[in-house]
A and B are shown apart, each in its own frame.
Chain A
Amino acid sequence: MLGTLERALSGVAALCVIGLCVVITGTVLSRGLLGWSIPDDVIIVRELMIGAIILPLAYVTSSRSHIAVEVLYNHLGRRTQLCLMAFGTSFGFVTLLPLLYAAWNELLYALEAETYFFGDLELPEWPGKLAFFVGLFFFIFRLSLLMASDLRTAWNGEGSADNAKEL
């Protein structure tokens, strides 16, 4: 269920990348051929960037694709490795919570104050803030599950931390 949702978020992110390509190519073509530009193209591109980058974070986390340095780690015993794994996910989860809180606040503010971008269309600011919050929320939620599983594995001292992939 959660895996399906994470894949769906990544799918939306892929659509955002395609959107980037369409909007920018459209601007270049319409400017060159018709002497006209897509209104607020720059703002649309910036908003799409949020979706493209933040939404896949939960999937990146569930597949443990966050890049780490393993020079020392590779020379350690299995038990120590499991503990370090659990420490890494726990550290990330705890220290990223303030960012999630800030993202929630910013979303609420954008909705309440109805903030918008200066431009032709006066596009509202909330869609980008919403995408940011949603992406970050599922990322940190996934991180909490990883943390729970890593801690359990480290405590029991058995199995592989990579079991969490199957969550």
Chain B
Amino acid sequence: MDPILLGAAGFLVVLVLLALRVPIAFALAGMATICTLIFFATKSGDFDLVRAFRPTTTLLFSNTFELIHSYNLSMVPLFIALGHVAYRAGITTDIYHAARIWLARVPGGVAMASVIGCGGFSAITGSSVACASAMGRICVPEMLRFKYDPRLATSSVAAGGTLGSLIPPSVLFIIYGIFTETSINKLFLAGVIPGLLSLAGFVLVIYIWVKRDPSAGPTPDESEVSGGQRSSAALKAWPALLLFVIVIGGIYGGIFTATEAAAISLSITLLVSVLQRRLSFADFKTAMWETVTQTSAIFFIAASAKMFVAFIALTGIAPTLVASVEAAQLAPWLVLAAIVAIYLVMGMFLDPLGIMVLTLPFMVPLVEGMGLDIIWFGVVVVKLLEIGLITPPVGLNVFVISSVVGSQVALEKIFAGILRFLAMDVIVLALLVAFPVLSLLLPNSMWQ
């Protein structure tokens, strides 16, 4: 069977299965299994399922096992645990109490505080999923408690989580730097302004949303808030501030890595919670229980997506797409549009790392050949991959939030809210593409 056809059919059937309510992980893993079997069975012209079995099972196993058997990804369960523990200990409620008092008069203030919190959290984690996991547990229940529109409460954090890879440190920039042999620090610097621009965009979305529909983000009743209340509320939120200062100082001061920061954050949070006697053993058990359930469900989807990536690699779809873009001899802006389209479509189904591995070996020479700046392209790619985390049908960040809120808010509602943030993402992306200076200003000024 023609591999390209098989690959296209694979994508299509996944879509159909998802529409039929087959769980996302089953659809991806199942189709990866079936299609890989067909690929190897038909590889030599005839059809031999027996011969196909060994290479297929080896690919399925190694991709699942090695994805999970990872030191770097240990930050995901640890940050998820951090979110649950901080929530159970009430640390997050203190932050929100402060945010609520401080932002009492701003429409959608708590949602804005959440997104800004995501921006801050991005500076201590390199992974968007880790960012959405911890912030999701911390922010979404509080916003729901404040009677925020569930769509706004969930989608703002799912979108805010995508700042995790644009604002340094960032796993995606590290991988991109390895693939392109560019300085990882320059890439990190290049992500700062686009990250802040995205953050500002999300805040603007919330502002417009709540301005047009004030019931989506109700302001507190007690609008008369004294200065004394403000400072006492801020003081009560000190553990969170302390954590932030220690972690930022530790990463940038060379005491621990961004991966290690996850464990350090969790340890500090546990220590403070126990010392302040605000975490009972029963609460701790509940937090850990929620942690493993959520982590397991998220990783199972990621592992299934990785199996699907291996199958797509076999089909050779990515090099074929890039070659056809190259062969079409389009105007440069059309080539860029085609590249953006490829990343958006792949981002609908696959995880960011998988997409990078599949596309960069072929995409980077094409872009370099056009004389474009490779650091700037890295920012564009990471922004596109971040968008993929919140586009349907497979949007890992949305699933993360969904696994926090459970059946409280339907998945479709989250995606419905996401649409407004996606519109802003498209605008920010267009700005990043049109004005490379936004990405290149910092790296170029620091290294003459």
Chains A and B directly touch (beta carbon < 8 Å): yes
Q: Assess whether A60 is in contact with B293, with CB atoms less than 8 Å apart.
A: yes
User: Is the Cβ of A17 less than 8 Å from the Cβ of B77?
Assistant: yes
Within the complex, the shortest CB–CB distance from B332 to chain A, in Å, comes to 37
Q: Is there an interface contact between B19 and A69, defined as CB atoms closer than 8 Å?
A: yes
Q: A32-B255, A49-B73, A53-B296 are in contact. Are A98 and B33 (CB under 8 A)?
A: yes
B264 located at the interface, meaning its Cβ lies under 8 Å from any Cβ of chain A in the complex: yes
Question: For the complex, what is the distance from the CA of A65 to the CA of B301, rounded to whole Å?
Answer: 12
B34 touches A67 (CB 8 A): no
Q: Does A137 interact with chain B (Cβ within 8 Å)? A: no
Q: Could you tell me the distance in whole angstroms from the C-beta of A32 to the nearest C-beta in chain B?
A: 6
- Report Cα–Cα, A63/B406, bound state, in Å: 11
- Taking a contact as CB atoms under 8 Å apart, the answer to whether B256 and A98 are in contact is no
B24 — which chain A residues lie within 8 A by C-beta? Answer: 66-69
Q: Is the CB of B57 within 8 A of A99?
A: yes
B445 contacts the other chain (Cβ, under 8 Å)?
Answer: no
With a 10 A CB-CB cut-off, give which of A17, A18, A70 has the most chain B CB atoms. Answer: A17
The yes or no answer to A85 lying at the interface (CB within 8 A) is yes
Check if B260 sits within 8 Å of A69, measured CB to CB.
Answer: no
For residue B238, CB closer than 8 A to chain A, the reply is no
Known contacts: A70-B411, A99-B33. The answer to whether A45 contacts B289 by CB under 8 A is no
Contacts A21-B78, A53-B299, A60-B296; A87 near B56 (Cβ below 8 A): no
Q: A14-B288, A18-B288, A102-B58 are in contact. Are A49 and B21 (CB under 8 A)?
A: no
B242-272 interface mask toward A, CB cutoff 8 Å, 1 = contact, 0 = none?
Answer: 0000000000000110011011101100100
Contact A99–B263 (Cβ < 8 Å): no
A49-B73, A69-B18 known; A56 and B65 CB under 8 Å? Answer: no
A54–B18 touching, CB < 8 Å: no
Interchain CB contact under 8 A, A25 and B263: yes
Contact partners of A10 in chain B: CB under 8 A: 289, 292-293
Contact A69 B288 (CB under 8 A): no
Q: B393 to A69, Cβ gap below 8 A?
A: yes
**Interface residue A24 (Cβ < 8 Å from any Cβ of B):** yes
B 286-319 contacts with A by CB, 8 A: 288-289, 291-293, 295-297, 299-301
Q: Does A103 contact B (CB under 8 A)?
A: yes
Find chain A residues with CB under 8 A from B53 CB.
98
Are B61 and A96 closer than 8 Å at their CB atoms?
A: no
A95's partner among B34, B256, B262, B301 (CB-CB below 8 A) is B34
In the assembly, what is the distance between CA of A68 and CA of B403, in Å?
11
In whole angstroms, how far apart are the Cα atoms of A23 and B262 in the complex? 12
B contact residues around A132 at 8 Å (CB): 65, 68
Write out the residue numbers on chain A whose beta carbons fall within 8 Å of the beta carbon of B30: 91-92, 94-96
Closest chain B CB from A51 CB (angstroms): 10
> In whole angstroms, what is the CA distance A47 to B57 when docked?
21
Q: B69 and A128: CB pair below 8 A?
A: yes
Distance in angstroms between the alpha carbons of A103 and B301 in the assembled complex = 18
> From A135, which residue of chain B is reached at the shortest CB distance?
B296
| Complex-state Cα separation, A101 to B56, whole angstroms | 11
Residues of A contacting B25 in the complex (Cβ-Cβ under 8 angstroms):
66-67, 92
Tell me, yes or no, whether A42 is within 8 Å of chain B by CB.
yes
Q: Chain B residues near A24 (CB, 8 Å)? A: 74, 78, 259-260, 262-264
Give B309 Cβ to nearest chain A Cβ, in Å. Answer: 15
Complex interface residues of chain A between 96 and 133 (CB less than 8 A to chain B): 96, 98-99, 101-103, 105-106, 128-129, 132
Chain A residues with CB under 8 Å of B29's CB are 92, 95-96, 99
A57 near B: Cβ within 8 Å? yes
Flag whether A36 is at the interface (Cβ < 8 A): no
A28-B264, A95-B26 given; A53·B20 CB < 8 A: no
Contact A65 B293 (CB under 8 A): yes
Kindly report which residue of chain A lies nearest to residue B69, judged by CB atoms. A46
Q: Is B22 an interface residue (CB 8 A)?
A: yes
Measured in the bound complex, the distance between the Cα atoms of B71 and A45 in whole Å is 6
Given A28-B260, A46-B69, check contact A67 B19 (CB 8 Å): no
- The answer to whether A105 and B411 have CB atoms under 8 Å apart is no
Which B residues touch A164, using CB under 8 A?
none
Over the window 76-99 of chain A, the binary record of Cβ atoms lying under 8 Å from chain B Cβ atoms (1 yes, 0 no) is 000001001101100110111011
Listed A/B pairs (14) with beta-carbon separation below 8 Å: A17-B292, A21-B78, A24-B259, A24-B260, A28-B256, A45-B71, A49-B73, A50-B65, A70-B410, A81-B21, A98-B37, A99-B29, A99-B60, A106-B61
- A-B pairs, top 5 by smallest CB distance, nearest first, are A95-B30, A24-B263, A92-B26, A66-B23, A102-B57
* Besides A50-B68, A67-B24, A70-B411, 6 new A-B residue pairs in contact (Cβ under 8 A), listed by A number: A13-B296, A14-B289, A88-B26, A92-B25, A94-B30, A98-B33
